[in-house]
Amino acid sequence: MGVRGLGGTLQKEIVTLHLVNRFISCKSEQNYTLIRCDIIQGLRKLYDHVQDEIIKDAGLRLIESEEILEYRKKYAAEWKNV
């Protein structure tokens, strides 16, 4: 699967903003932790390709915002070695 958001600056901003909003809004859905994990993974893959600090900051802020420590640790594992 290719990495979305590599089209340019505007596209990166749109994708990042959408993923952040989706992370926040999915909490009331069934299996929201899996959705959030996919979002964190997607942000990490995008960051790995473009090395944009805004994407990194967004991902790390989302991880820190997780209230349940178990899930926060799981999400943080995706961002090791950054």
The answer to the question of residue 54 being in a domain is yes
Q: What is the pLDDT of residues 43-57, one digit of tens each?
A: 999 999 999 999 999
In a domain, 57, yes or no: yes
DSSP 38-76: HHHHHHHHHHHHH--HHHHHHHHHHHHH-SSHHHHHHHH
pTM above 0.85, yes or no: yes
Q: How far is CA 55 from CA 1, 8, 26, 31, 82, in A?
A: 19, 13, 19, 24, 12
Q: The domain containing residue 39 runs over which residues?
A: 9-77
How many domains is the chain built from?
1
- In the block, tokens 């090395």 appear at 51
pLDDT digits 0-9 by tens, 12-43: 899 999 999 999 999 999 999 999 999 999 99
